[in-house]
Amino acid sequence: MKCLLPTINSGLVLALVVSAFSLPASFADEPEVLKESFDQKTDLKWTVIRSAKDHVSLETNPGMLTLKTQRGTIHGDEKNDAFSGGTQAKNIHLVDREIPDNVDFEATIAVRKFEPQLFYHQIALIAYQDDDNYAKFSMEKTNNPPGQTQVLLVCEDRARPTHNLITPTEIDGPFWLRFERTGPDWICRHSRDGKTFQAIGVHTFEFSDKKRLIKVGFLAKNGGNPAAAEIDVLFDSFELRIFPPVAEVEQE
């Protein structure tokens, strides 16, 4: 049996009364629950964007998935980005389950070990249409100010990113990240024990192309930083809960 003893200390967390944020009617219905334990094998079918198998292992740390970070980004016009040298992020893991625009979901990742050393070392949950259209809730090292770790929500639509809910954070051990899409609202949370989740904030974002489906998953990378070393990130579990769409009420 795996046991996590996380100790993450978050500073300057936005004061939000999350309990006042009403849940949609769809949350009353039973969700589709997709769980991944990474215990010797994968339980779910995954789509991996730009797979680099030599940086992925279920054997290095038994009972967990080990991702070794690499240089690469999907931020803005990444193919023409001078800082990254046009290197695109690899090993973006997405559950092979497409989700329509009108469907709410909740994704949670348990991170056993993440020890960022240099700016843009990061792990993230991601809701992905393609490299130019996504929402990414990440924990990462920043250079503004230097040496600080933060959580933030990057929303990119048609290769135009915005940076939201930026909150300084300290990492002392394992932690959980969770983000939820409820209509146009994205709710970001983190946890020390996987049971009690503290809100980072709520941000409204919608993709321009509402007909396109998304896939949800996670990543670990160095961003475009050429000086960042490749480090091992250990993931303990992943869960995706997909809620039935809200039925439209006909007007009489």
Domain 32-241 -> CATH class: mainly beta
Q: In this predicted model, what pLDDT tens digit does every residue of 102-147 receive, in sequence order?
A: 999 999 999 999 999 999 999 999 999 999 999 999 999 999 889 9
What is the DSSP track for 21-49? SPPPGGGGSPPEEEEE--SSS-SS-EEEE
User: In this structure, is the dihedral angle defined by the CA atoms of residues 193, 165, 49 and 142, taken in order, positive or negative?
Assistant: negative
Decide if pLDDT at 42 tops 60.
Answer: yes
Stretch 240-247: mean pLDDT, rounded? Answer: 89
Model confidence at 17, pLDDT cuts 50, 70, 90, reads very low
List the beta bridge partners of residue 169: 10, 149
What is the reported pLDDT for 144? 87
Predicted TM-score (pTM) of the model is 0.87
Model confidence at 5, pLDDT cuts 50, 70, 90, reads very low
> Encoding tokens for residue 192?
């020390």
Cβ pair 243, 95 in contact under 8 A: no
List the beta bridge partners of residue 217: 94, 126
Instruction: Return d(Cα 189, Cα 111) in angstroms, integer.
Output: 14
Least confident interval from 20-29, 60-69, 132-141, 228-237? 20-29
What is the DSSP track for 37-90? --SSS-SS-EEEET--GGGEESTTTTTSEEEE--SBB-SSSGGG-TTTTTPBP-
**Residue carrying structure tokens 């992020």:** 89
Q: In this predicted model, what pLDDT tens digit does every residue of 146-176 receive, in sequence order?
A: 999 999 999 999 999 999 999 999 898 999 9
What is the reported pLDDT for 29? 74
By CB atoms closer than 10 A (0-12, 13-18, 19+), residue 48 is: middle
Q: How many CA atoms lie within 13 A of 238 on its CB side?
A: 24
Q: In this predicted model, what pLDDT tens digit does every residue of 49-107 receive, in sequence order?
A: 999 999 999 999 999 999 999 999 999 999 999 999 999 999 999 999 999 999 999 99
Instruction: Return d(Cα 54, Cα 57) in angstroms, integer.
Output: 8
Mean pLDDT of all residues in the chain?
90
